Structure 1
């Protein structure tokens, strides 16, 4: 899939802005700020960097993207004790392993392109 276009840059920029808004307005009274701010900061930095076509065109971008999403789902599952997000984190971990294999071998195993 070609992710070098302007629309992909806009998409990642919007994701970075949305996580930035969550970063600013996300903390409520009893929440631990570190539990909330760490995933939002990670997402904002990653999606902000992904707005650059040069970053997205790097061969390691897809495995890193899967790894970041796995980490985000994992942090959410641990902080909320949610079985659903734990399951999504496990699926993302499998996707990360598949993408690491694809990156290493140059294949497109299990991709829907």
Structure 2
């Protein structure tokens, strides 16, 4: 590839830190949690925002996943310190980021806790 092609591709894709992507690959999280994390990463880094607003109604296209399940999975990610909730508004919107301090993430899922 020529340098100009590399520059064009670089501008089209968000610059997500590699250590966060590597940590997500190694984290013991389920498919729904991976989907939530990638959604938060895309919303944050694509638009150069400080946090990703999550409107839970946006996940209505997932036919096999209920809204309470998504909220529960997000809560588990917050408990493990993978996701940080910056602001939660009444209703169904909140502002979230992926914790950039990967060393603070808790390694294991709390299997024994009730949802």
The normalised TM-score by structure 1 is 0.31
Structure (1/2) with the larger strand percentage: 2
Structure holding more helix per residue: 1
Bigger relative contact order, structure 1 or 2 (CA pairs below 8 A, ≥6 apart): 2
